[in-house]
Structure 1
């Protein structure tokens, strides 16, 4: 059992870097995969968001880095600019503790390509981090000599597949040495990813890190119905109650993100917006301001759910339930990190109970809440009427209509009236049944009489 990072036989520079960010004990994915990667094996690591997988591959990469070799040694491909920025920042933090400079380069869309090409003419980086499309472009135009790499990391492989970048990754991998060490990390391993894995990974170590709960136990999951409420006003009230440290509000579309941001700004709140409609340079600037705590509220699309790492998020608000429930997990995973407490608030509309039930099947336990007298208080369980509904389903349709009609009026004694109606209905059904039975008996008697007469005539 790996108790601390010192048990992993890492370079002193790396141990110093980890101490600088208060990393003492490896996470399960780090404890299992770092020794395997250090041994030179290819791996497929499947783990949830916030599991520490970035350092699970960065630490062995830096540990094996040849500081004297002025060539590309490791390629890290990631599907979003934000995730590339996060990995780049983590890599720079590790590199700062080495006495010898380590050249780390980041290549993503929206950056100054001409300047990067001039830099590549002077020297090649040792560690390359970038989005698949930009990496492929630099490789095909012979600006970036990726063929010298002996390690290739494909981070968030399922997201890479979903965003249509797998062909670019395949193209890059096809140009690399046969003895390549491939490190694939993914939250899920969809079927469509299997051919790529079989093509490039021979006898890999496959580690699926089990979790006792898909959501960190330090997160409180609150569920609030938007019935009879204006959603924008509800979110504003949630943001201005108490003293949230930093709140991420996730929306399902870019249009909704812009709409909610405009509303909150109109209410006087200083709000940052992160979505695909925001230019890359502007997003980068906003992210830096958020990390410097210049904003308390951030409205974002799912682009940010798996692409940014903002420390100290106290609250996450789901403006709506995402179509892909994996994104729900990634959204909520932005809070409650490193053992810190967090609150995730999910807003749902009438008719979305089935979607909530699907989330609960993932192991999420919701606490129903509502706003009353300017405070967030416990509410009733949305399933409280299931038993009553089941009873109604067994009633005659006419009685169900009577029940619904009486519920709307809510007059005294309606339960007694319904009880009598049920009794009368039962009596009526019994009389109908008796009449049908009598008719049936009479028909049988007639048929029997006719048969007897025919028999006597024949004789």
Structure 2
């Protein structure tokens, strides 16, 4: 089947062709005709399956007629994170370039004034995170009574982040007569309950088994002591001649530690995590896409919502606490039919979480043995320099990673110096709390 068989207009087909696609993915093939026919959708698909285009394309088609009123968007797409919202906005810009539809992106970290101005001009497609949308609604800057299409994207992630009460509140503000599309990578009981509450006789589309890894990704794991993970990471990069990669850590402070370590060894690295200002996050992402940064050290804020064309490698420097997060992390590679590679570094403390990942990946994971003769001196030791974008969080002090300094000449220790006690004036009068005698350590 081709896109020409799905009932899309000539202008949309031209935009799809310009992007470089001719054949729809399974979820696009099933969802697009149902959306065009007005059905509600409950879609379950893992990352990298083309799910975003499955609702972007029919929405552009259905909204091509009509005009938005001031502060009254005609459609609403809810995303759990700013990165996901920005990715969906990019899809609309690519596929909707031949249309006259207006788009607004409501996310935190951006100017309220600029967002309000867009809403006042009239918006056909509104993409928002729940928090910023509710802020603007409570200020009286937006009305939701004209929404014809409502998309809840990454519903399982919304559940994890505690956004379900916000979704319920937002749903109550929308017209009862509307078309609702709900998408999730997994189908826990809570998401199934949510779909039955807000979808009207939906078409259920499940295109992949729940919580499975893509067959286009070559997955490997390495057992290594926790203290040796950074050295092991450099060894793999050098031995495999890895040109670029996203490297995931569990904690924000570890993202900063690893970014500083990589930069210290001459790698062009940048950090990305939730404590950074949105402008800094945008800058780092753009630098990575432009290949000014080769290694993006990230928290799970990047596990969903980052779409890098033909990204070859992903590393799990830390084993994710939830097996589903592993699926989303490695899903940044091996997209659109391309072959990707994923490595996971496992210390003794990671074994329990790793066993949960094995249940999802099955026999897809292959063990790799490290070369014990590899030394720190064999890693890159280029002159230290700053990457074009460091991506540091404003105002956050940077800590030096423990035991992670580039090799330097040894210097003999300085001989101990005799301690000279500084003389001080005699106190005037008794010291309250000590009687008449001043202790020696305070003299």
Shorter-chain TM band: 0.7 to 0.9
Structure number with the bigger relative contact order (C-alpha 8 A, sep ≥ 6) is 2
- TM-score, structure 2 normalization: 0.80
Aligned equivalents of 1:152, 1:79: Cα separation in 2:
14
Q: CA deviation at 1:212?
A: 11
Q: Taking structure 1 as reference, are residues 15 and 56 closer, same or farther at Cα in structure 2, changes over 3 Å only?
A: same
Aligned to 1:309: 307
Aligned equivalents of 2:318, 2:139: Cα separation in 1:
43
Of residues 317, 320, 342, the one that matches 2:318 is 320
5 Å-filtered alignment, 1:435-446, equals none
User: Quick check: 1:245–1:313 contact (8 Å CA) kept in 2?
Assistant: no
5 Å-filtered alignment, 1:32-181, equals 32-71=30-69, 72-98=73-99, 101-121=100-120, 123-181=121-179
Aligned equivalents of 2:138, 2:23: Cα separation in 1:
42
Secondary structure of the structure 1 residue equivalent to 2:180: strand
CA deviation profile, 1:182-225 (whole Å, cap 9, x unmatched):
10000112223344333221211112213599322222111111
Secondary structure of the structure 2 residue equivalent to 1:344: strand
Aligned equivalents of 1:73, 1:46: Cα separation in 2:
25
CA-based RMSD of the aligned residues comes to 1.9
CA deviation profile, 1:238-278 (whole Å, cap 9, x unmatched):
22334323201000111111111111111121101110121
Aligned to 1:338: 336
Aligned equivalents of 1:237, 1:187: Cα separation in 2:
33
Q: Taking structure 1 as reference, are residues 79 and 212 closer, same or farther at Cα in structure 2, changes over 3 Å only?
A: closer
User: Quick check: 1:110–1:281 contact (8 Å CA) kept in 2?
Assistant: yes
1:184 aligns with 2:160: no
What stretches of structure 1 of length at least 5 have no aligned partner?
376-459
Q: Taking structure 1 as reference, are residues 65 and 359 closer, same or farther at Cα in structure 2, changes over 3 Å only?
A: same
Secondary structure of the structure 1 residue equivalent to 2:336: helix
Q: CA deviation at 1:34?
A: 0.9
User: Quick check: 1:81–1:109 contact (8 Å CA) kept in 2?
Assistant: yes
User: Quick check: 2:40–2:181 contact (8 Å CA) kept in 1?
Assistant: yes
Secondary structure of the structure 2 residue equivalent to 1:149: coil
1:238 aligns with 2:236: yes
User: Quick check: 1:73–1:149 contact (8 Å CA) kept in 2?
Assistant: yes
Aligned to 1:370: 369
Aligned to 1:278: 276
Secondary structure of the structure 2 residue equivalent to 1:184: strand
Of residues 260, 265, 268, the one that matches 1:267 is 265
User: Quick check: 1:250–1:300 contact (8 Å CA) kept in 2?
Assistant: yes
More helix by share: 1
User: Quick check: 1:336–1:343 contact (8 Å CA) kept in 2?
Assistant: yes
Q: Taking structure 1 as reference, are residues 351 and 200 closer, same or farther at Cα in structure 2, changes over 3 Å only?
A: closer
Aligned equivalents of 2:355, 2:159: Cα separation in 1:
27
Q: CA deviation at 1:374?
A: 5.1
Aligned equivalents of 1:229, 1:161: Cα separation in 2:
34
User: Quick check: 2:19–2:94 contact (8 Å CA) kept in 1?
Assistant: no
CA deviation profile, 1:322-381 (whole Å, cap 9, x unmatched):
111100001111111112121100110125444333222213421111222559xxxxxx
Aligned equivalents of 2:13, 2:333: Cα separation in 1:
26
Q: CA deviation at 1:70?
A: 2.2
User: Quick check: 2:333–2:341 contact (8 Å CA) kept in 1?
Assistant: yes
**Greater C-alpha Rg:** 1
